[in-house]
Amino acid sequence: MGLQGDFYQLLKEQGYAFGLAGQAKVEQDLIAATTILAFKYRDGVLVAGDRRATAGNVVMYDRTDKVLEIDRHSVMAIAGVPATAYEMARVLEHSFKYYRRTQLQELSFEGKLRALSKLLKENVPAALAGTGAVAPIFAGYDSEQEAAKIYFYDILGAEFEGVEYAVSGSGSPTIRGILHYLNTWGEQPLSALSEEQATIQALRLLTSAAEFDSATGGVNRDAGLYPVIKFVAAGGVRATPDPQLRALFESKVSRTT
């Protein structure tokens, strides 16, 4: 009765072994390598992710977009198996668009949260088999409450509101502690940061994650590769262009300048 953690952790504590059908009981790592984060800043929510995709200890791709725009007021950041995550994003995008065109209004923010939760619940067999686990972050602007919000999910579809911030992926333990420290004892809380200050913090956080997690892709200046950073506010979703990220990284993040 003293067990703590999500349902997946509880199953592990009880001795449940996760494996593929027909194989010996070999435990699978259900959270694929990646680092995504979201936090509230002065005008809304910043959502960011590194760009590395891995298969075991092999780097498969370093140009992955893990912060996906679902509609003009919401984004989904993905951590987990890319094939499953991208399919969920496509289903959500189509569903939201269909509702908007048939009902002549956007689906409510609450409805969007339920839609993602439903997809994750339907994916539980694949998640528990170790072939399709996804632990996303969903951020959007709630027009009814006139506020940008952050929600994160476990692989079984349970949703939790990130009051100030949320993180997911293999590099998340590193930056969760940093976010708590910054938000509690920093010069100002995260929610008071300007857009530029928030962007700088996101670059620093993902650079820190890459330093301690080999599966998280950092900045590659030679290739011109920078994290994907998007903002969600009343005016909609907006991405930060690479030239702006490059300038901020060179002036505020890199230790060689």
Boundaries of every domain in the chain = 28-250
Summarize the confidence of residues 175-196 as an average pLDDT. Answer: 97
Distance in angstroms (rounded) separating the CA atoms of residues 207 and 213: 10
At 82-119, the pLDDT tens digits run 889 999 999 999 999 999 999 999 999 999 999 999 99
pLDDT of residue 32: 56
What residues pair up with 47 in beta bridges, in sequence order?
38, 230
CA distances (Å), 18 to each of 8, 29, 117, in order? Answer: 10, 9, 22
Distance in angstroms (rounded) separating the CA atoms of residues 202 and 199: 5
pLDDT of residue 5: 44
Per-residue H/E/C for 97-134? HHHHHHHCCCCCHHHHHHHHHHHHHHCHHHHHHCCCCE
Share of the chain above pLDDT 90, in %: 76
| pTM for this predicted structure | 0.87
Is 34 marked active-site? Answer: yes
> pLDDT category, 23, cuts 50, 70, 90?
very low
CATH number for the domain running over 28-250: 3.60.20.10
Which residues neighbour 253 within 8 Å (Cβ) at sequence distance 6 or greater? 200, 203, 204, 207, 219
Q: In the chain, which ranges are continuous DSSP H helix?
A: 7-13, 82-103, 109-122, 124-129, 172-185, 195-212, 242-248
Dihedral pair phi/psi, residue 105, rounded to 5°: -160, 160
